[in-house]
Amino acid sequence: MNPFLETLLDTPLDDTYRGVPPGDDAIPLRAVATRRWQPRSGNMALPVLTLDEAAFAHNVDQIFGYARSHGAALAPHAKTPMSPQIVQRLLDAGAWGATVANLQQAAVLLRAGVRRLMLGNEIGGPASGARLGKLLAAYPDARMLMFADSPETVRSLAAAAEQAGRPAEVLVEIGGGRAGARDDAAVAAILDAIGAHPARLALAGVATYEGAVATSDAAVTAKNIAALMERAAKAFRQVRALAPDTPLVFTAGGSAFFDQVTQAAKPLLEQDGNAQLVLRSGAIFFHDHGTYQRALKAMDARAGFTVDGQARHAATDFQPALRLWGEVLSRPEPGLAICGFGMRDVSYDQDLPMPLAAFRDGAPLPGWDPQARVTRLNDQHAFLAIAPDSALAPGDVIEFGISHPCTCLDRWRVFFGLDAEGRVQSAYRTFFG
């Protein structure tokens, strides 16, 4: 194991981390299972964020099975958990590499031993190029593919390559709605700029991100993605003409529309014969009860999730793996419960957390109201609308599903993996900076 990961597992886990009971002695991350904590029993400090280990492993099998059956590789977007332990698990499962959003994330994973990265964003100007050059020089054995959507970005990458003393590999980014070249003239300018630095820059392929052109209308979204992929394919052919013998990368694919990416890229890559489709899906490994559940239901409506030629049901094949556990603090009104978590603890940009079950003394609370819902959040309080005659009382523990893993995980320095009995078996450090 990489020395960074070994040291990470020896990190003392004490009561400065959410979830650890106040006053408990510190324990190394690697030994957390010996405490036999169980969130629903109330023997952890709440709130706490947990990962269903079986659901996570199941999701890994599902998406890797999909990628294998379509000849695709996976470079999971590490920005979702920003946990070197999780990234290593995905590499062990066969990931091509990992994707990062910025240089801080790249530095974390390089230190953790990851040696194939995709920088899925533009780096900025000369100052950022200098930081990139220093990072590349520090890890001469690492391969990093970098996006470029303008001559200015290309010049920054060229300066980084000169500082690092080795060529930088560039992916021409085609985009809409966010970053990325918008037209043929922009692509031509990028290619000309790369060609002006033949000793410093190497063409590595084409990148895009289909989620940036999505709308609330499925038909419009499909049309937008098809048009984006057509422009990306055209750019890919231009790159191939300039690099006729180079093994190239064609990369796209988040966690909501990877089926449309795969379908659109297949004929292009089959015709080329010397290129790899790399999907950058990240949230799919964690899934959720909200935004991605809706996305996978939409995928099923278009019969997009196929494995070995057989249509599958993505909305049920993938399982929500994250849970937020909160304690009832108050029943100030008949139809209201106040829970001890809030905007500092859980995502709310897509949906509010969804109550799933309640527990008292570790056992399910009889008569749980399936209509209970979170109506709003303060910094540290959740407002739970319940039936006026609900038996819910202060001290009861409620299990919540979340929506949008990326903006939930980034609120936690540590989240905990649970076994089949709901007991903590692992702890994952995060490095969001």
CA 404 to the chain's CA centroid: 9
How confident is the model at residue 367, as a pLDDT? 84
Residue 401, number of CB atoms within 10 A of its CB: 19
Separation of alpha carbons 150 and 155, rounded Å: 9
Separation of alpha carbons 269 and 309, rounded Å: 18
* Best CA proximity match to 386, nearest among 320, 325, 328, 322: 328
Question: What single-letter amino acid sits at 373?
Answer: R
Task: Tell me the per-residue pLDDT of 156-187, one tens digit each, with 9 for 90 and over.
Answer: 999 999 999 999 999 999 999 999 999 999 99
Residue that the structure tokens 């890919």 belong to: 236
349 burial type by CB count under 10 A (0-12 exposed, 13-18 middle, 19+ buried)? exposed
What is the β-pairing status of strands 201-208 and 168-174?
parallel
Residue 234, number of CB atoms within 10 A of its CB: 15
Percent of the chain clearing pLDDT 70 (strictly above): 100
Read off the pLDDT of each residue in 90-94 and give the average, rounded to a whole number. Answer: 98
How confident is the model at residue 369, as a pLDDT? 87
Residue 25, number of CB atoms within 10 A of its CB: 10
Instruction: For helices 258-272 and 218-242, give the axis angle rounded to 10 degrees.
Output: 30
Whether 250 contacts 236, CB under 8 Å: yes
Whether 252 contacts 281, CB under 8 Å: no
Separation of alpha carbons 124 and 126, rounded Å: 7
Q: What is the DSSP letter of 217?
A: -
Give me 425's structure tokens. Answer: 């078996």
Task: Tell me the per-residue pLDDT of 272-292, one tens digit each, with 9 for 90 and over.
Answer: 999 999 999 999 999 999 999
How confident is the model at residue 1, as a pLDDT? 82
Strand partners, 254: none
Task: Tell me the per-residue pLDDT of 314-330, one tens digit each, with 9 for 90 and over.
Answer: 999 999 999 999 999 99
What is the β-pairing status of strands 275-279 and 248-252?
parallel
Task: Tell me the per-residue pLDDT of 219-255, one tens digit each, with 9 for 90 and over.
Answer: 999 999 999 999 999 999 999 999 999 999 999 999 9
Q: What is the DSSP letter of 77?
A: B
How confident is the model at residue 370, as a pLDDT? 85
CA 412 to the chain's CA centroid: 14
Q: Return the H-helix or E-strand segment holding 133.
A: helix 126-138
Task: Tell me the per-residue pLDDT of 357-412, one tens digit each, with 9 for 90 and over.
Answer: 999 999 999 988 888 999 999 999 999 999 999 999 999 999 999 999 999 999 99
Task: Tell me the per-residue pLDDT of 98-118, one tens digit each, with 9 for 90 and over.
Answer: 999 999 999 999 999 999 999
Separation of alpha carbons 137 and 158, rounded Å: 14
Give me 130's structure tokens. Answer: 């200098």
Separation of alpha carbons 186 and 180, rounded Å: 9
- Which residues lie below 8 Å from residue 384, measured CB to CB, with a gap of 6+? 328, 336, 337, 338, 339, 355, 372, 373, 374, 375, 392, 398
**Residue 343 to residues 339, 353, 374, 384, 409: CA-CA distances in angstroms?**
12, 10, 12, 14, 12
If DSSP codes are grouped into helix, strand and coil, which group holds residue 326? strand
pTM for the predicted model, two decimal places: 0.97
Separation of alpha carbons 345 and 325, rounded Å: 10
What average pLDDT does the chain have? Answer: 97
